Amino acid sequence: MALEKINMPQLGESVTEGTINTWLVKVGDQVNKYDPIAEVMTDKVNAEVPSSFTGTIKELVAAEGDTLSVGELMCYVEVEGSEEAGEQQVEEENTKKTTSTASREESSMKTRYSPAVLKLSQEHNIPLDQVTGTGRGGRITRKDMEKLIASGGVTPSPTKEAVNTKPEKKTEPTQSAPSISVSQGDIEIPVTGVRKAIAKNMVTSKTEIPHAWMMIEVDVTDLVTYRNSMKDKFKKAEGFNLTFFAFFVKAISTALKEFPQLNSSWAGDKIIQRKDINMSIAVAKGQELFVPVIKNADEKSIKGIAKDIHLLADKARTGSLTAKDMEGGTFTVNNTGSFGSVQSMGVINHPQAAILQVESIVKRPVIINDMFAARDMVNLCLSLDHRVLDGLICGQFLARVKQLLEQTNSENTPIY
């Protein structure tokens, strides 16, 4: 029998740690290779960790709720059919024990002093920790002391306090949770899992990225008319909804192609301008928020984007998003309008350079040709990393998005 380790795997690009949400096995359970043994939550996705071996669970080293770095030990599995390896492991452990025992014995012998050695030490003021013993295990003998006295003794070494001239290292104050009083009836909810990851990422974004903010108002009356005329037919033909959001994602990805500065990341001494336009979209599931990615959004039709939105949202709500679904986002579009919001400032999805909030479409009176008209209006709110972007380029980008959306109608915008 051999005892094997299962460590926290790499669960996705740039994922450095994971939190054990649920153990799916207990000590004594028999598992086969690739059987899921734990549900792990990262800042990007929930995933199951498979067993790397066939055998018996011997010890769960980490507990549910523990956050482990990639490569850190999760549990031990006793593997059958590896007697040779097991014997080798036992032999190595015995060797370590023997070495450790010998070391302890040697250390013990060095500090055993005979009455004669102690007497000579006191009479001649010789610190015994500075005497090299020649007896068994380094023990100091009477002859060692007599030889040392005959040679003039030892010069006491400076005390540690005198030698230590380095300034003491200042201890940084530890950051503790704020002390907030709790009243009777209050509910305390532990911060774990996705909520913990969101909190960590938001702090990183807000402390590292200097945010600036812009907003533009867009008349989408023709777009609304076009979409409403197509939605029932489309749903019947395709089996999923033709949402307004798909039109916005298409227009924004087209504008990003023309203004690649917004499709960038800050990288310290350089700015990385991305070639692919991979659109991150925010999807909520209860109290959890996931940001899956529509890959190469600029190359897709409105139908293709609508299908991706449908599939990713469905996977998020059923907990089946994979790490691959979450990777590679270069720009984030957030559909805050679905909650009725008309104005908001998004926090940039680090390390991207900007995030655009699509607010609620509201019908309201607008002056056209000196006359009031009922129009469908929407606000687009852009948060930008001011290290990468300035107001000029972002203003031009928003103006182009506005132009594309206001020109969207049945005559010039194909769905397929």
Residues annotated as part of the active site = 386, 390
Question: Which residue, among 79, 33, 90, 85, has the nearest Cα to 56 in the 3D structure?
Answer: 79
Round to whole Å and give the CA distance between 27 and 37.
Answer: 11
Question: Which residue, among 79, 70, 13, has the nearest Cα to 51 in the 3D structure?
Answer: 79
Complete DSSP assignment for 322-383: -HHHHS---EEEE-GGGGT-S---PPP-TTBSEEEEE---EEEEEEETTEEEEEEEEEEEEE
Residue 239, CA distances (Å) to 127, 233, 276, 293, 308 in order: 89, 10, 29, 21, 13
Residue indicated by tokens 């033909």:
237
The two tokens of residue 304 are 């293709």
Round to whole Å and give the CA distance between 132 and 148.
Answer: 10
3-state secondary structure of 58: strand
Instruction: List beta partners, residue 102.
Output: none
3-state secondary structure of 4: strand
The two tokens of residue 119 are 């007497």
Round to whole Å and give the CA distance between 258 and 401.
Answer: 10
**Contact status, residue 311 vs residue 230, Cβ threshold 8 Å:** no
Instruction: List beta partners, residue 367.
Output: 372
Q: Cα 27 vs. chain centroid, distance in angstroms?
A: 29
Angle between helices 244-258 and 221-238 (to 10 degrees): 110
Sign for the CA dihedral angle at 301, 303, 309, 311 comes to: negative
Report the chain's terminal Cα–Cα distance, integer Å: 60
**Contact status, residue 263 vs residue 274, Cβ threshold 8 Å:** yes
**Contact status, residue 294 vs residue 305, Cβ threshold 8 Å:** yes
